[in-house]
Amino acid sequence: MNRATVAGRLSVLILFVAISACADTTTPVGVPDEAGFSQGPPVHLEVPDRFAQASPEVMALPGTVFAARDQSTGQLVFGVERPAVARDIAPIMARKGIPETDYRIRITEPIHFMHALQNEHASATLRTEHETLVGGVQIHWSRYVCTLGFSAEHDDGWSFVTASHCTDRQGSTGDTQYNQPHRDVSPDPIGFEADDPAYFRRGLCSRGKICRYSDAARVRYEPGVRSLPRVAKTTGVNTGAVQAPSYFRITDQDTSADRFDGTIHKVGRTTGWTSGTATDTCAMVNVARSNIQLLCQTLVENPGARIVDGGDSGSPVFTLNGTDDAELVGILWGGNQSGDMFIFSPLSGIQRELGRLDATTEGMGDENGAADEPHCPGNSRRPACR
């Protein structure tokens, strides 16, 4: 990834994201139409004056990838697809009274949604049928596959969360059906879409964009589907392994943070358990080849490693408290073409839009991940609950 520098003070990151982080070789999910968003913004996002003044206008420019504040220098960082975009940014910054020494420009790749066409069936992996569903395993909807994020208690019932664009129509609650791992393998649905909030305009939203605080949708489990508030654990981190003989326990969840540092982990159906460093947080993100902008997202990078690929959208994102105890912090929805950068929506933004979610239910398994009392209400159509 080529890098160049410009300068500024910003405390929120903005990301221009291309639509393939969830797609392998498929047509990307369509952009919501007028029925898929509302006109008013939700809860106000607090940001410094300079960011609020300059970022929406900068992020309306074609070719912008992200904007962020460098945590160590305080400089404003703009990611752009090509150097020529810098010429369009400079007049905006000058008009806002921000000197050239206070911002820098970095050449970077666009970011893509990460769904994928179903094209393989492996044995005993994240991509096969699981009697007890946990975060990180493959789910199937329409013609595509994504990743189950996490199971949680909700006022509307036991549910799981995945990416909003892993629905038939993102930004609009419909009746998308989900199977695991694939309806050809297991035709009985595991759940149906229950909540996918509408996009909004105005507020911090750049002109011509529609916005949300998360790329998240909630799916209500069908009665009798067996699940646990855990994340599948593969045989190694950043190895590409998808064999998952054990679990991470979700012992905590961070529902308030929108800024992160240090090592961040995820488990997805395609690249398995991977990790990187949180480099830019509370980002405004432009999704490439669409008019969608996501507010207050987090960018995670691991140069030279493959930490994301098509099908990983919806992956649970977490930090580790020891070997097997995980603190849930969000879900992954995008990445770059090189696969060394992924983007996630923090749990704070997810709950702002979907309501209270408790993913840390206790008393549902022993220390080795064996299920003592898995969530399995009612009569089941799946073998695990019969």
Q: How far is it, in rounded angstroms, from Cα 121 to Cα 129?
A: 10
How remote is the C-alpha of 143 from its chain's centroid?
20
For the whole model, what pTM was predicted?
0.80
All residues at 6 or more sequence positions from 130 whose CB lies less than 8 Å from its CB, including other chains: 137, 180, 181, 232
Give residue 246's identity as a one-letter amino acid code: S
Pairing of β 13-18 and β 272-288? parallel
pLDDT in the model for residue 375? 53
pLDDT computed for residue 362 by the predictor: 57
246 near 368, Cβ under 8 Å?
yes
Q: At which residue do the structure tokens 């664009």 appear?
A: 165
- Please tell me the CATH code under which domain 116-200+218-278+299-354 is placed: 2.40.10
Q: What does pLDDT average to in each consecutive run of 10 residues of the chain (386 residues)?
A: 38 39 36 42 46 82 85 80 91 90 88 62 77 97 95 96 96 96 94 98 92 98 95 96 95 94 97 96 88 94 96 97 94 96 98 96 42 45 38
Q: Are 9 and 48 in contact (CB under 8 A)?
A: yes
Task: Give me the pLDDT at residue 283, please.
Answer: 86
